[in-house]
Chains A and B, each alone.
Chain A
Amino acid sequence: MDWALPRLVTVAKASAWQYSSAADSEPGRNDSVNTNAACPADEMIPTPSTSHVDYNRVYEPAEDSYLLLDTLSASSESNWLRARFPPTSATPSAVEVGCGSGVVLAFIAANAERLLGRPDVTTFGIDVNEFACKATADTVSLAIKEAGPTNQSVFGGSINGDLMTSLRPGSVDILVCNPPYVPTEELPNESNLDEFADRADFGSDEAFDRDSRYLALAYAGGMDGMEVTNRLLDQLPEALSQHGAAYILLCAQNRPDAVKDRIRSWAHGWSAETVGSSGKKAGWEKLSIIRVWRS
């Protein structure tokens, strides 16, 4: 598949420049770290286990996933979230759109106390890929179990759906999304999503076709890599609660500065800042994470 190539290049480059800086302990995670590098006092929180996930049909955690983990666990971000959701407030909801293996949602659920300064968070995963939904349910449940009894997070469930269309307005406090962001000629599946609805009768070659399409759905972002992300952004004002904040991953080709400017021009006072990035060297694969919230 032609998307494998840029991805491999990214990994190779990232580890090449990483070797010259202080070596980190976690294989894979350090490929993307530099939010932590900015806050050397932060210790690395382990990555949730996803060894049960079938990567033939569900996105395998990669440097983009790890950048989300590192950004959310940086002390600067954790301080911001603690102030936004003080322990006296109602249990915050954390929703991940495009949850894939569930690695990011599991990280939030299992480390609520560290990230949010409170042990309770209620989590939901949404993905257009039904196998990702199942994978996420397993990954998050396992991570909560392993976090032990002081953790008071609850996994509400996975929802097989398109972005936030199934969510009640105002119900999301913390939104996390690592969307399909790679620029592609077209969005192969968007118009075909209904072919996937309500089907349980695939033959084996059909199943292979379906699996490849699921993997394509994980990366193909259409024009500027922004077609899915733009639809997600459009849904934010309705879906986010008054205190809500969204963490969205962008690549350089998505033109993060233009995206942020656009959000800042929305009615009723919205803010957008870059709160994490990786791949300091100029290159199309450079990733960043923006935080979007009502100011």
Chain B
Amino acid sequence: MKLLTLNFLTCARKTCKSTAAAFPLHPKEAELEQVEMELNPLFVKNMLPRLDWEAMKTLATELGLPNLPAETPVAEELANESGEPTQTLRDLHTLLMETAIASGKLVCGNCGHEYAVKEGIANFLLPSHMV
């Protein structure tokens, strides 16, 4: 599961869903995997506006990855005058597209429930008493 995906996920319990603490989920004992992908400047640029930047910064810190810039990078920071991709764009590409959680847990900051990730697939099925 690419780190990008964590921008779209929250705790599956009804009571947590709309609480601020349930997002982002916090990786625990995460084993990361680097999956090389062709640099995809358009995708990164078009994806930025829909990322929750604070959440992405939290994730980078929690996973021990290099810190992200304090604010969402603007378009000018992604390409230089000659249109070539900048280091910022490359770093974002590496973080969002090429870094994946292979196994570990995703923990809800509201209820503490731990969702297991195995072979890159997160399991969000809840025992019926927890739904």
Q: Which of B5-39 contact A (CB under 8 A)?
A: 5, 7-12, 14, 17-18, 23, 38
Q: A154-B43, A165-B12 are in contact. Are A133 and B2 (CB under 8 A)?
A: no
Q: In the complex, which residues of chain A have a beta carbon less than 8 angstroms from the beta carbon of B38?
A: 149
Distance in Å: Cβ of B61 to nearest Cβ of chain A? 20
Query: By the criterion of a CB under 8 Å from any partner CB, how many residues of chain B are at the interface?
Result: 38
> Is residue A21 within 8 Å, beta carbon to beta carbon, of the partner chain?
no
A193 vs B124: C-alpha distance in the bound complex, in angstroms?
A: 11
> Is residue A128 within 8 Å, beta carbon to beta carbon, of the partner chain?
yes
Stretch at the interface among A74-82, A194-202, A220-228, A245-253: A194-202
Contact with A along B104-127 (1 / 0, CB 8 A): 000000000000101111111111
Q: A130-B123, A152-B40 are in contact. Are A193 and B8 (CB under 8 A)?
A: no
Q: In the complex, which residues of chain B have a beta carbon less than 8 angstroms from the beta carbon of A128?
A: 125
Distance in Å: Cβ of B14 to nearest Cβ of chain A? 8
B123 touches A198 (CB 8 A): yes
> Is residue A56 within 8 Å, beta carbon to beta carbon, of the partner chain?
no
A133 vs B5: C-alpha distance in the bound complex, in angstroms?
A: 15
> Is residue B82 within 8 Å, beta carbon to beta carbon, of the partner chain?
no
Contact with B along A195-229 (1 / 0, CB 8 A): 01110100000000000000000000000000000
Q: A124-B5, A157-B1 are in contact. Are A198 and B116 (CB under 8 A)?
A: yes
Q: In the complex, which residues of chain A have a beta carbon less than 8 angstroms from the beta carbon of B5?
A: 124, 156-157, 159
Q: In the complex, which residues of chain B have a beta carbon less than 8 angstroms from the beta carbon of A133?
A: 121
Q: Told that A90-B46, A134-B121 touch, could you supply 8 new A-B pairs with CB distance under 8 A?
A: A90-B48, A91-B50, A122-B4, A160-B122, A165-B17, A194-B125, A194-B128, A198-B123
* Interfacial residues, chain B to chain A (CB-CB below 8 A): 1-2, 4-5, 7-12, 14, 17-18, 23, 38, 40, 42-43, 46-50, 97, 100, 116, 118-128, 131
Query: 10 pairs across A/B with beta carbons < 8 Å?
Result: A120-B42, A120-B47, A124-B8, A130-B123, A157-B100, A159-B122, A159-B124, A166-B11, A167-B9, A168-B10
